[in-house]
Amino acid sequence: MRFISTRGLAQPLSFSDAVATGLAPDGGLFLPEKLPDLSAQWPPMAGLGYAQLCHEFMRHFATDIPEETLRRLVGKAYQGFDHAETAPLVALDARTYVLELFHGPTLAFKDFAMQLLGNLYEHQCAQRGESINVLGATSGDTGAAAIHALLGKPGTAIFILYPDGRVSPLQERQMTCTGADNVFALAIDGSFDDAQAALKTIFGDTAFRLKNRLSAVNSINLARVLAQCVYYLYAWLRLPQEARANAEFVVPTGNFGNVLAGWLLQRMGVPIPAFKVATNQNDILYRLFTTGEYRVADVQPSLAPSMDIQVASNFERFLYYQLGGDAARVRAVMATCAKDGVYRFDKFEHSTFSASRCSDAEIPGIIAHVRRRYGYLVDPHTACAFKDLSPEKVSVVLATASPAKFPETIREAIGAEPKHPRLEALRKRPIHKHKLPASVEAITRFVEAHAV
Ligand SMILES: *Cc1c(COP(=O)(O)O)cnc(C)c1O
């Protein structure tokens, strides 16, 4: 299978090359040239464990990796999860299910894709006899997930920039207490935007990028989206037969990567009837799905910080299909969005998607309500998804983070703080961080000195 760019001006690539490349050279995002038809294949997969299911799914795409190698890489990716079912589907009542996606090393759903991506990178390094240096900026979850995907992996080093003093203390510990000598947590004297601006300049310097074999971690990598399809399939197979026809997957949404994966699975022939895009107060996607207008606004920091986005980067993949695979039109729409910050769709697929929006003021109340009603504790991101659950449908809510990652908000909601052994263990470990000014020179000097 080959992978094409949404903007149509880049050479189609193999799976491994598309994964290594990340963003397509024409500025677009990679998609499978043709989606496989799984409509006859998914029903017999019901008995498979998570890693087996992932292998059965990924082998349709990773056709340039030998079967046994892929099986091994996938198996390793989910070993570090601390629940036997990897992604357990919990029934709160006959109409309400929770798909728990927080049993990975950093207790958030990004581990599902990042752990696999880390193993794919390691395999590529070994295959090509080349090292790889991953460089990224984070305001929280992504950096921690990326670090835990690469820590201790031979032939790799990872550098994560974050704004010093502006990520939560637990998130900082997840990045700085690993003890791994290929992990560099760079605490920048500046904001997340400063870190990101520096990163952009560094990646723009092609000579530096090639010399140091730099690779980016971001939510647009093809492997991340595909790896995320698997837990939708896993949940679908576990949902009682009679619930399926009326099911709606409710997804806490920021960059649109998570819910896009579910929607792609539907296009591959798994008959999931509906998805709900649940945003926090940064509601660009809520507005899009309720009015047809995509209008960029300023980010308002919220209690669900991993959904604080301004531009939903994965949206371009959805757009590609909405525009009938017409790459020239994708280019035109993306140019309009970049220039005017707004685009109006004349027709939009409303049968599959609905949307909800949750303000910061509502989050603690929802956490308390879910706790009272179901005896179940949700984190602030998952709480956004519990806003306005449909009374007619069977809701499958994706729980994207463990409540233990957000002790302050949980305390405000229920008067007590949840604990998690993985996070408690971190409190006892020493912090290793490197303080740097937010200057391109300081960062490039550091990376050159420590690159593998
Ligand atoms: C990243 C993240 C989200 C948003 O996911 P997208 O793929 O960006 O839509 C939601 N919840 C948590 C906890 C996250 O870390």
Average pLDDT, stretch 65-84? 97
Nearest one of 277, 266, 271 to 229, comparing CA atoms: 266
Amino acid at 385: A
Separation CA 145–CA 366 (nearest Å): 27
Size (the chain), residues: 452
Please give the helix or strand (H or E) that residue 215 lies within, else none: strand 214-216
> Does position 217 have pLDDT exceeding 80, yes or no?
no
Q: What CATH number does the domain located at 89-107+223-418 have?
A: 3.40.50.1100
How sure is the predictor about 350, in pLDDT bands with cuts at 50, 70 and 90?
low
| Catalytic-labelled residue, pool 34, 110, 153, 200 | 110
Domain ranges of the chain: 89-107+223-418
List the single range of 154-158, 229-233, 329-333, 337-341 with lowest mean pLDDT. Answer: 337-341
Instruction: Give CA–CA dist 323/114, Å, rounded.
Output: 29
Q: Work out which ligand 1 atom sits closest to the CA atom of 379.
A: 13
Answer whether 142's CB lies under 8 Å from 309's CB: no
110 is catalytic: yes
Give residue 169's pLDDT.
Answer: 87
- What torsion do the CA atoms of 373, 378, 382, 383 make, to the nearest 10 degrees? 50
399 pLDDT band, cuts 50/70/90, is very high
**Ligand 1 centre from 11 Cα, in Å?**
30
Distance (Å) from CA 110 to ligand 1 centroid: 7
Ligand 1 neighbourhood includes 219 CB (under 6 angstroms)? yes
Q: Is 379 in contact with 406 (CB distance < 8 Å)?
A: yes
Q: Is 183 helix (H, G, I), strand (E, B) or coil?
A: strand
What is d(CA 312, CA 127) in angstroms, rounded to the nearest whole number?
Answer: 34
From the number of C-beta atoms within 10 Å of its C-beta (0-12, 13-18, 19+), residue 175 rates as: buried
400: CA distance to ligand 1 center in Å? 7
Cβ proximity of 153 and 126 under 8 Å? no
Among residues 151, 185, 184, 178, the alpha carbon closest in space to that of 430 is found at 178
Please give the structure tokens belonging to residue 221. 């990598």
CB atoms within 10 A of CB 373: 12
Contact 400 CB / ligand 1 (< 6 Å): yes
Report how far ligand 1's centroid is from the alpha carbon of 445 (Å): 32
Residue 446 and residue 436: Cα distance in Å, rounded?
Answer: 9
- Counting ligand 1 atoms within 8 A of each CB, the residue from 117, 228, 264, 306 with the most, and so the one to mutate, is 306
Atom of ligand 1 lying closest to residue 401 CA: 13
CA-to-CA distance for 231 and 237, rounded, in angstroms? 10
pLDDT band for 420, please (50, 70, 90 cuts). very high
358 lines ligand 1 (CB under 6 A): no
Does the Cβ of 156 fall within 6 Å of ligand 1?
no
| Mean residue pLDDT across the chain | 94
Tokens representing 291? 């009015």
